[in-house]
Structure 1
């Protein structure tokens, strides 16, 4: 089979399964509205959970940073790309989240890949929640370490795997809030079982940081301090990028051996300036108010959707998956809702297990109560 035939066959299979991914160029994709040209829809697909992507102070901070530092960093942080703006952001993150050190990465995907690739060696073992993010599972599968996966949020199964003999070290990997189901990991239980086996815990809290508890995320809300905490800025912070929170020695180790960190151009200093402002907003009284607004929206939506008979997961987070089942009706439902002015994303296999295609509804503090009611109205009409 030729290269072209292989590619064509793969695409044909995706189309036949109604699983082909398509990008849509938009004028605005975060915030309350999704805009495409002159058209607009209420946006229930954005991860901008606190509505900070349009925050005037954060926008102004980026503009000020660009005026001061220019538009790019100019190189890897190991060459000339590490600025005082990066240094200040790392220090602020470490202080706010209660760790000795923070290291910035260009994305959460890169942070997860770099950390696992640098720390795990032959003879070690990674034990990951079965529903962990693709960046975690891909890094683990490419690592020379053994990869085992425990049943989703199942502490007993985790403990069984931890008890098996291993030549090297064990790293347990999970998310704080899972991106497709929206449910929370039982972090206190996982941490206790991991430490009883002398393992380390790595938590990717992309969907919890800024939202859970007082804004410090899922781990702080559950009284857990993992050895490795990954936070990303593309959700509640309204920007992009990521950081790994860790000890001094681990930070120094990653600076020497994390190839994603060493060989990638650093994020623009202006972005670091904007992120420090976003961090201040997240941890302020305004952040508390936005979290309370989001909490009210979640409760309002869940109550209404359940009364309408739609199948939801047990999520209490901003991620509210509405399970449909098969691909064709999921796509049809998404299209009907768009025709009524509500934009939702249809999530299909292989991103989620077969038979669990869904609308991944995300709620934000930027929404109004009327927006939630409108979504429930169009879901009611679609259901009937």
Structure 2
């Protein structure tokens, strides 16, 4: 089975044999009292990688956003959320709303809509906090960070970005034939954005293959978060094993990350070129999440099933532009040229029969359809 469902874009795996040994998984105390061994070193390395002053490890982005918006709800802020912000950050925003914070939505990747919202809703008693995903895999585009920052700075606000998709993939000095750039520091490094008015919440579960999260930003905001975090008091911190895996991932990234990113881009280009040769196309640009164009709903479901029977595992997704299922392929650096060629060959053999098959059998199919591709 060739797997196109894994979001381990750089193909990092962390076996127990490959990690440094640990004496115990947990200290039995919350992080508010004592940080687990290695946590400070990994956080410092991530802050440097992302171009931020300070960083703090969290067990997941769910913990991170729950605490972040709990903290912000105590401040005189109004929240402005991109309508397609991923669910976990939205849940944090919902917590702030329940605490009485005004929340406004604006159109996806639309700075003018954001500006109009802020002008219409602005108050001298609050400042705006803009919440968005740094990179949208559904449309294959980064958020317009330049414009968002111009607006935020005009009103003395704060920009909160979920950089999960970009961390480990994007970096400095992107070029035409190396669009990911170097270093894997994420969207801020890729676009050259810096400032004390930016906060990043990121999972390492994609590019780095580690189920842990990091909050990165200015010393002021990270220190404040650390002192006001609820889950750092009431929940277990990341385990020592996961922290060891994060340290290993950063070392692999330092030693092999750029060749892995070049390999990943090579496979994405091969996939898109292969689609072109059989008369198809995909959305996603140079990003490793590729979604077939022109095939949706039952057609996408039937093609998903037939590919699976022939050894090709894909993802049924749902974009913000359509309620119907679409077929996505998550490409990683572990895919070989033969994997891509075989996938294109199977698509070529099956795709022309999809509409006919759908017309013959329109019975509903009970398959999981993901509403997004930013799974934590």
Same fold flag (TM > 0.5)? yes
Task: State which drifts further: 364-373 or 351-360.
Answer: 351-360
CA displacement, residues 291-344 of structure 1 (integer Å, 9 cap, x when unaligned) = 001111111212222443445224321111225665433222111111111111
Q: CA deviation at 1:52?
A: 0.6
> What is the distance in 1 between the residues matched to 2:85 and 2:286?
18
Helix, strand or coil at the partner of 1:102: strand
Residue in 2 aligned with 1:315? 285
User: Does residue 77 of the first structure (1) align with residue 53 of the second (2)?
Assistant: no
User: Does residue 151 of the first structure (1) align with residue 107 of the second (2)?
Assistant: yes
CA RMSD of aligned residues (A): 2.1
> What is the distance in 1 between the residues matched to 2:229 and 2:45?
22
- Aligned residues of 2:26 and 2:239 also touching (Cα < 8 A): yes
User: Does residue 359 of the first structure (1) align with residue 327 of the second (2)?
Assistant: yes
Q: CA deviation at 1:219?
A: 1.5
Helix, strand or coil at the partner of 2:143: coil
Helix, strand or coil at the partner of 2:104: strand
User: Where does structure 2 lack aligned partners over 5 or more consecutive residues?
Assistant: 172-181, 353-376
Change beyond 3 A, Cα 1:316–1:201: same
> What is the distance in 2 between the residues matched to 1:206 and 1:152?
18
Residue in 2 aligned with 1:20? none
Change beyond 3 A, Cα 1:227–1:74: same
Change beyond 3 A, Cα 1:265–1:200: same
User: Does residue 232 of the first structure (1) align with residue 203 of the second (2)?
Assistant: yes
- Aligned residues of 1:326 and 1:355 also touching (Cα < 8 A): no
Residue in 1 aligned with 2:151? 193
> What is the distance in 2 between the residues matched to 1:142 and 1:97?
27
Q: How many residues align?
A: 334
Q: CA deviation at 1:201?
A: 0.7
> What is the distance in 2 between the residues matched to 1:126 and 1:270?
36
> What is the distance in 1 between the residues matched to 2:299 and 2:27?
46
> What is the distance in 2 between the residues matched to 1:278 and 1:181?
28
Helix, strand or coil at the partner of 2:231: helix
User: Does residue 116 of the first structure (1) align with residue 69 of the second (2)?
Assistant: yes
> What is the distance in 1 between the residues matched to 2:152 and 2:324?
31
Change beyond 3 A, Cα 1:308–1:192: farther
Change beyond 3 A, Cα 1:109–1:182: farther
Q: CA deviation at 1:352?
A: 4.8
> What is the distance in 2 between the residues matched to 1:117 and 1:366?
39
Residue in 2 aligned with 1:48? 8
Residue in 2 aligned with 1:220? 189
User: Does residue 259 of the first structure (1) align with residue 222 of the second (2)?
Assistant: no
Helix, strand or coil at the partner of 2:22: helix
- Aligned residues of 1:255 and 1:262 also touching (Cα < 8 A): no
- Aligned residues of 2:22 and 2:240 also touching (Cα < 8 A): no
CA displacement, residues 96-142 of structure 1 (integer Å, 9 cap, x when unaligned) = 22322111111123212321221134752111211110112222123
Change beyond 3 A, Cα 1:325–1:371: closer
User: Does residue 303 of the first structure (1) align with residue 270 of the second (2)?
Assistant: no
Change beyond 3 A, Cα 1:183–1:104: same
Residue in 1 aligned with 2:370? none
Q: CA deviation at 1:186?
A: 1.9
